[in-house]
Structure 1
Amino acid sequence: MNFKTRDLQAYAIAGTQDLPDQQLLPFLKKALEAGITTFQLREKGPAAVNDRQTLVTLAKACRQLTAQYQVPFIIDDDVALALEVGADGVHVGQKDQPIETVLKQAHQRLIVGYSCETSGQVNHANQLTGIDYLGCGAVFPTVSKADAENIGLTQLRQLTTLSTYPVVAIGGITLENTAQVLKAGAAGISGITLFTQSPDLTQTLTQLLAHYQREV
């Protein structure tokens, strides 16, 4: 699947650890029906799936669902798993595998997303070939990553201006602050709790995607 910048508009991230009773697949189906534009499987933390075969089975089920809705499927920090299950891409952070290693392994077969929080990291990414988008944040304080330092809107604007790649913003983003984030130059919105804790996914996606219509 070819990467398109609009795929970043409603970029949902989740793993079994983020949902009651580990009900990831029912959540994913609802989210796809509601209109998410990309899904990233992120199994991390003590409550995440740690058995490899179980993880492969889960990822294959996610692949099947996302394919039905023609939505890009990204795996967090695991190129081998992404290739094994036929995912569309992989996303890595600064503390994951070195980006150069990931790009070599992906070898233009995968969409590659890369997390950057500083100007130096963005400048480094700008020198590389094969990255498709950057993930920047946490923009605001977030409960999903306790160790994440929030960069704020001013730094987000600096990063989006500096980056030669489209930027998807993450971290503490809500429907109430989405407009500010997009005005800071983000091409899209990503998150965990924005989607997993939504009381009405259809309404959340309708309101979120409406921001892009207003931006046009």
Structure 2
Amino acid sequence: MNDTSCQLYLISPLDVGGSFPDHLREALEAGPVAAFQFRVKDVDQQEAARLAEPLKAICDEFDVAFIVNDDVALARQLGADGVHLGQGDESLKNARDTLGLDVQIGITCHDSRHLAMEAGEGGANYVAFGAFFPTATKVTHHKPELDLLQWWSEMMEIPCVAIGGITPENCQPLIDAGADFLAVCGAVWSDPAGPAAAVRKFIDIMDDRPAD
């Protein structure tokens, strides 16, 4: 079983312009945060790179892994620490061939043990399961049960990420079931008290987890 404590994995809102770099810095200062996923839609690679570069610099400053969603070419251009791929994105093999062995590759596996096993056998660095709760971040058609996290953590060394509508109020069962990372978006960036307060709420809960 993977016995590392659960860690926070932040996912960006779709709008990362304007004052968002300041919000990211606030969140990371309140950390520790393990990773930040850069996720934008409907912008070309040049614009995506322009938006990503200051965010990557902040992540580098705080030693937080900078992960690009969906776009292997952008991850390579930025020198990102990793890329996260959905089932409809570029293949794991092609991404690995392009990015090399040192770059982390995560795979969305929805609620499927089969897809997760395939990803693990194919050399993924982590698998992501979800959505565990209703989410406004993206349209979802999969609702995994907690026993999926427990099964994976008992069977496999590769870390698993829980995603989808996760808040400080509902995350404890995911932690208890064996999630290595909680992927969080709206609960941090939309918190009325600000991202730093939201991160501290999650960290306080994770720090209270009993040792395995």
* 1:57 CA displacement: 1.2
Residue 31 of structure 1: aligned partner: 27
Between 1:53-62 and 1:23-32, the stretch displaced more is 23-32
Q: Find the aligned partners of 2:29 and 2:183 in 1 and give their Cα distance.
A: 17
The residue type paired with residue 52 of structure 1 is Q
* 1:52 CA displacement: 2.5
Runs of 4+ residues over 6 Å off in structure 1: none
Residue 125 of structure 1: aligned partner: 119
Q: Looking at secondary structure, tell me which structure has more helix per residue.
A: 1
- Find the partner of 1:68 among 61, 72, 81: 61
Q: Is 1:10 matched with 2:8?
A: yes
Residue 100 of structure 1: aligned partner: 93
* 1:39 CA displacement: 0.7
Q: Find the aligned partners of 1:22 and 1:91 in 2 and give their Cα distance.
A: 24
Residue 113 of structure 1: aligned partner: 106
Question: What stretches of structure 1 of length at least 5 have no aligned partner?
Answer: none
The SS at the match of 1:87 is coil
Identity value in percent: 30
The SS at the match of 1:135 is strand
CA contact (8 A) 2:168 2:201 kept: yes
Question: What stretches of structure 2 of length at least 5 have no aligned partner?
Answer: none
Q: Is 1:176 matched with 2:169?
A: yes
Q: Is 1:81 matched with 2:78?
A: no
Q: Is 1:41 matched with 2:38?
A: yes
The residue type paired with residue 43 of structure 1 is V
Q: Is 1:202 matched with 2:196?
A: yes
Q: Is 1:53 matched with 2:50?
A: no
Alignment of 1:149-168 (within 5 A): 149-168=142-161
The CA RMSD over aligned residues, in Å, is 2.1
The SS at the match of 1:112 is strand
CA contact (8 A) 1:141 1:149 kept: no
Between 1:153-162 and 1:34-43, the stretch displaced more is 153-162
Between 1:51-60 and 1:168-177, the stretch displaced more is 51-60
Between 1:25-34 and 1:61-70, the stretch displaced more is 25-34
Change (3 A) 1:157 1:180: same
**When the two structures are aligned, how many residues end up with a matched partner?**
204
The residue type paired with residue 196 of structure 2 is T
TM-score by length of 1: 0.85
The residue type paired with residue 102 of structure 1 is A
* 1:127 CA displacement: 1.4
TM-score by length of 2: 0.86
CA contact (8 A) 2:65 2:81 kept: yes
* 1:22 CA displacement: 5.5
* 1:162 CA displacement: 4.1
